[in-house]
């Protein structure tokens, strides 16, 4: 894999695929961890008089949508603030043009372009025409085959790993090849199928896998429990059942939960996981489960955490995620956490800087840890 140092940058244009899929609240960036992580790369390229075409996806919009809620505009504003300079912005690919040396242009959300999710080579050729060297920094998306990740790596004149990606691969590679045992996985969040899929291989090496968030709901359903109106993924129920059958003592499924009518409810109620009513929504793990997870984190050798335990953005449903963040911060284990919302939670609960490593990847992080080759990284070689 080439790196930034392999190129003579003055006058060249970097096609910088970053991971700017950050939490946004009320039109403002709510957590800058993923932006902060790529700022040194941007500064370094600009200092070397390279032009930059900065691109990222944001959320999961329908392709072709013009709804402003999918716009990278809030990221543009935050970038301008952090870099202390105006950020040129191309609202559509049609309007984009090649920047000159020392100039940066941010492209609108790649997933608004038709063909992005399908990895369309024609779309990739249009991205490639804007610059010279594809630079991959989007570790958090490296498990995907979107056009701006894989087809672009092939369509661009040349390609390399950015310093952030290099660091992610080196640090996580270390945790993967020589884990301190026992290894504990804590998996949660809303991207159920991505993360649950990764648990299949991790189940072979982990001593325990503690599940929260939407993944826990899917496991509770797989155990035959009623989960009311909770977020879950019916298509993953069978996989969860198979995992439970194959590894009966491996999974730690919450025995109690916090329920409410919905995430905007002013308060939640703690209940045993087998007493959830038809109109309840499970929005956090319960206090007994939080204690159990924290105890396991304290006695583990390595803890890998991806995905919030509940809707931590709202105070009544934050306790489970806070318990995990605090336990990670004080554990003697080698602790790694990652994901857009997970990093926001790590910061919110004062654990930033107290973990051994934080990665920008969420689902990609879990796939990397299970030993999978990530398509976007493979495309650089
Ligand atoms: P990450 O960005 O860290 O990879 P995800 O994007 O998969 O994590 O999921 C994070 C989101 O999951 C959080 O915003 C949180 O509100 C939501 N979440 C967690 N638990 C639940 C739940 N039980 N019901 C609904 N949403 C949940
Ligand atoms: Mg997320």
Provide the β-strand partners of residue 160: 135
Ligand 1 contact, 207 CB (< 6 A)? no
Length of the chain: 381
- Whether 99 contacts 88, CB under 8 Å: yes
Q: Rounded to a whole number, what is the largest CA-CA distance in the chain?
A: 64
Residues 66 and 70: their CA atoms lie apart, in Å, by 8
Residue pLDDT, tens place only, 105-138: 999 999 999 999 999 999 999 999 999 999 999 9
CB-CB neighbours of 267 under 10 Å: 9
Would you say the pTM of this structure is higher than 0.85?
yes
Nearest CA to ligand 1 atom 16: 311
Q: Whose CA is nearest to atom 9 of ligand 1?
A: 189
Q: In angstroms, how far is CA 199 from the centroid of its own chain?
A: 16
pLDDT at 128: 98
Coil, strand or helix at 251: strand
d(C-alpha 329, C-alpha 311), whole Å: 20
Asked whether the CA dihedral 164, 323, 368, 75 is positive or negative, the reply is: negative
Burial class (CB in 10 A: 0-12, 13-18, 19+), 238: exposed
Report whether residue 23 contacts ligand 1, using a CB cutoff of 6 Å.
no
**Surface-to-core class of residue 64, CB atoms within 10 Å of its CB (0-12 exposed, 13-18 middle, 19+ buried):** exposed
pLDDT at 235: 96
- Residues in the chain, pLDDT under 70: none
Residue of the nearest CA to atom 25 in ligand 1? Answer: 231
pLDDT for position 174: 87
Query: Within its chain, how far is the Cα of 120 from the centroid?
Result: 23
Residue 178 pLDDT: 84
Q: Which atom of ligand 1 is nearest to the CA of 230?
A: 24
Q: 99: Cβ below 6 Å to ligand 1? A: no
Assess whether the C-beta atom of 231 lies below 6 angstroms from ligand 1: yes
Q: Which ligand sits closest to the CA of 307?
A: 1
DSSP sequence for 20-47: ----EETTEES--HHHHHHHHHHHHHHH
As a whole number of angstroms, the distance between CA 376 and CA 381 comes to: 9
Atom of ligand 1 nearest to the CA of 191: 7
CB 342 within 8 A of CB 355: no
pLDDT in tens, 86-98: 999 999 999 999 9
CA 308 to ligand 2 center in whole angstroms: 9
Atom nearest to 192 CA in ligand 1: 7
């Amino acid at each position: 894999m080439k790196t930034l140092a392999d190129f003579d940058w003055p006058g060249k244009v970097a096609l910088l695929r970053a991971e700017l899929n950050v939490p946004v609240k009320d039109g403002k960036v709510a957590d800058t961890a993923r932006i902060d992580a790529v700022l040194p790369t941007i500064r370094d390229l600009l200092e070397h008089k390279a032009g930059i075409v900065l691109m990222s996806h944001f959320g999961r919009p329908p392709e072709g949508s013009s709804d402003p809620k999918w716009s990278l505009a809030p990221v543009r504003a935050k970038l301008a603030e952090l870099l202390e300079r105006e950020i040129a912005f191309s609202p559509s690919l049609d309007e984009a043009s090649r920047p000159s040396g020392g100039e940066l242009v941010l492209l609108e959300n790649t997933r608004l372009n038709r063909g992005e999710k399908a990895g369309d080579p024609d779309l990739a050729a249009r991205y490639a025409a804007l610059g010279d060297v594809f630079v991959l920094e989007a570790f958090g998306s490296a498990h995907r085959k979107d056009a701006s990740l894989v087809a672009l790596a092939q369509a661009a004149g040349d390609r390399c790993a950015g310093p952030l990606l290099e660091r992610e691969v080196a640090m996580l590679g270390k945790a993967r090849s020589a884990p301190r045992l026992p290894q504990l996985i804590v998996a949660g969040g809303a991207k159920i199928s991505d993360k649950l899929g990764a648990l299949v291989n991790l189940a072979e090496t982990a001593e325990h896998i503690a599940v929260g968030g939407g993944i826990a709901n899917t496991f509770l359903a797989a155990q035959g429990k009623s989960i009311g109106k909770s977020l879950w993924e019916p298509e993953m129920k069978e996989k969860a059942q198979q995992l439970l059958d194959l590894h009966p003592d491996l999974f730690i499924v919450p025995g109690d939960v916090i329920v409410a009518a919905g995430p905007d409810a002013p308060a939640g109620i703690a209940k045993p996981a087998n007493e959830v009513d038809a109109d309840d929504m499970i929005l956090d793990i319960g206090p007994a489960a939080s204690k159990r997870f924290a105890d396991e984190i304290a006695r583990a050798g390595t803890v890998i955490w991806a995905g919030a335990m509940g809707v931590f953005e709202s105070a009544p449903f934050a306790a489970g995620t806070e318990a995990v963040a605090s336990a990670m911060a004080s554990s003697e284990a080698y602790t790694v956490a990652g994901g857009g919302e997970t990093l926001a939670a790590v910061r919110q609960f004062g654990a930033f800087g107290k973990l051994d490593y934080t990665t920008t990847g969420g689902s990609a992080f879990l796939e990397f840890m299970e030993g999978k080759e990530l398509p976007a990284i493979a495309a650089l070689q």
